[in-house]
Amino acid sequence: LGGAAKGAAGRDAAPPSDGKPRTFVLARGQVGDKLAALVEDLKGVWSPLCARKLKARASNTLKDFVDVAGPLGVTHMVLASQTERAPYLRITKTPRGPTVTFRIREFCLGSDLARVQKRPRCPPSLFRTSPLVVLSNFSGKPHLKLSAVMIQNMFPSIDVQKVNLAACQRLVLLAYDEETNLVSFRQYSINAEPADVSKGVRKLLQRKKLPDLGALGDVGEYLERGGYDSESDGEGLLGGVDNRVELPAGFGSKTSGMRATAAGGAEGGGASSRIKLHEIGPRMELEMLKIEEGLCAGAVMYHLHETRTTEQKQTTADRHREKEALRRERREEQERNVANKRKAQEEKTEAKRRRREERQRARDGDEGAEAIEAGDGHEDEGNAYEADRKAYIDAVGEEPGEEDLARRAPTAGGRGRGRGH
């Protein structure tokens, strides 16, 4: 994020008018390779409303990002940092806060999860739409309610009556555990599969090519030998048919539509499908440390390790008000100094302009005097010419010709050359 980029953002970019929240995900300070990889995974969580290609310099300050956030329509920032004790994650609302700070107790990258899964499912198309957000146990205490509202506002709201089911490709889950004071962060991909069919039928529908049936007597043997993926598939993930829903034929992609139709729904009608979640990462265990009123600053509204009395809270609030008043006074003084310097510079420029005009007028006056002197000389020469003409007329009795006068005649541009000269 260089000076040219900041200037271009301020001059040319216009805030988006769709009203959707947008997020910067950044690493602040020196971070390890694992935490840097976690930042890249978190950019995918807030995609597509996240600046995934944002590059920051070590010299960039937090104010630099706040300055460009407004023109770009960025409403939130996720800041990852690391100390000798632990890595931290801050979620803040631009431009004035509040800020929620978490300590990252544990985390696992999406690539690590994919390596331990038998059939990982994370196609790039998942990140073309925003995820659904589910918050669990964020109720009761004020700081939990505040953090819940803050997290919800980081994702675009949906209308359950008008939402396009095909756009529901991901799920972000945050669950608060009151006993451990930890927030579990998970991200899943959503997949709809036909219900009440064997593993063979499902694999047959999902395959792009027909399987090798050379060793089998007929296709029935292939379908009957599959059974279910696991014992829980026949019962439903939640027991019974709790995880079965009626989806319209053609839901999701072309493959999903084939599954829904094959599951028993009539063409153009509903189909009984089973919703499956595949974890795609990242996975984090977060501990909420504190909530600040401002943008990574200001009065502390909640702190995990500090409990303050009413008098202490009032003292802290008074101290922050004094600091804010002093900051405002210094800002006003700086603005006055800048205005005075600008006025002095304008006066200096105006004085230079007046002196330049005076010198020009004096120069024009000197040139005019020289022109008058030159004009007098021409007049004398004209009188001498006229005297010669009259003398010639008196002597000869006729008007002289040009060749008869040895003196050259006055001209508009000065004296010309006479004949014979």
Q: Which residue has the tokens 């599959």?
A: 226
Lowest mean pLDDT among 41-55, 140-154, 400-414: 400-414
Give the mean pLDDT of the chain. 79
Q: According to the model, what pLDDT value does residue 243 have?
A: 65
Say if CB 180 and CB 106 are below 8 A apart. Answer: no
Residue (of 400, 418, 401) closest to 409 by Cα position: 418
Which residues are CB-contacts of 292 (< 8 A; sequence separation ≥ 6)?
Answer: 97, 98, 99, 101, 298, 299, 300, 301
What is the mean predicted confidence (pLDDT) over 363-367?
78
Distance CA 136, CA 157 (A): 17
Distance CA 265, CA 120 (A): 28
Task: Tell whether the model's pLDDT for residue 134 goes beyond 90.
Answer: yes
Residue 386 DSSP one-character state? H
Structure tokens at 342: 């600008």
Task: Tell whether the model's pLDDT for residue 418 goes beyond 50.
Answer: no
Confidence of residue 419 (pLDDT cuts 50, 70, 90): very low
Instruction: Name which residue leads in pLDDT, 154 or 236.
Output: 154
Contacts of range 176-184, beta carbons closer than 8 Å, 24 or more positions apart? 176/135, 176/136, 176/137, 176/138, 176/144, 177/137, 178/137, 181/287, 181/288, 181/304, 182/105, 182/285, 182/286, 182/287, 183/102, 183/285, 183/286, 183/287, 183/288, 184/284, 184/285, 184/286
What is the mean predicted confidence (pLDDT) over 342-365?
90
Q: According to the model, what pLDDT value does residue 131 have?
A: 94
The H or E element spanning position 272 is strand 270-279
In the chain, the percentage of residues whose pLDDT exceeds 70 is 74
Burial letters for 25-51: b for 16+ Cβ neighbours within 10 Å, e otherwise? bbbbeebeeebebbbebbbbbbbebbb
Mean pLDDT comparison of 106-110, 208-212, 241-245, highest-scoring range: 106-110
Q: According to the model, what pLDDT value does residue 200 have?
A: 67
Q: According to the model, what pLDDT value does residue 144 have?
A: 94
Say if CB 22 and CB 72 are below 8 A apart. Answer: yes
Residue (of 159, 228, 237, 218) closest to 197 by Cα position: 228
What is the mean predicted confidence (pLDDT) over 7-20?
64
Confidence of residue 336 (pLDDT cuts 50, 70, 90): very high
Confidence of residue 16 (pLDDT cuts 50, 70, 90): confident
pLDDT digits (tens, 9 = 90+) for 257-284: 334 433 343 333 456 777 888 999 899 9
Say if CB 74 and CB 24 are below 8 A apart. Answer: yes
Which residues are CB-contacts of 400 (< 8 A; sequence separation ≥ 6)?
Answer: 388, 389, 392, 393
- The CA-to-CA distance between both ends of the chain, in Å, stands at 80
Q: According to the model, what pLDDT value does residue 257 have?
A: 37
Verify cis geometry, omega within 30 degrees of 0, for the bond prior to 95.
yes
Structure tokens at 114: 């994919």
Query: How far is CA 255 from its chain centroid?
Result: 35
Query: How far is CA 243 from its chain centroid?
Result: 38
Structure tokens at 257: 């539509």
Residue 103 DSSP SS3: strand
Structure tokens at 34: 């694992």
Task: Tell whether the model's pLDDT for residue 340 goes beyond 60.
Answer: yes
Say if CB 39 and CB 25 are below 8 A apart. Answer: yes
Distance CA 101, CA 154 (A): 15
Query: How far is CA 103 from its chain centroid?
Result: 25
Distance CA 190, CA 194 (A): 14
Q: According to the model, what pLDDT value does residue 271 have?
A: 61
Q: Phi and psi at residue 163, in whole multiples of 5°?
A: -65, 140
Q: Which residue has the tokens 């589910």?
A: 134
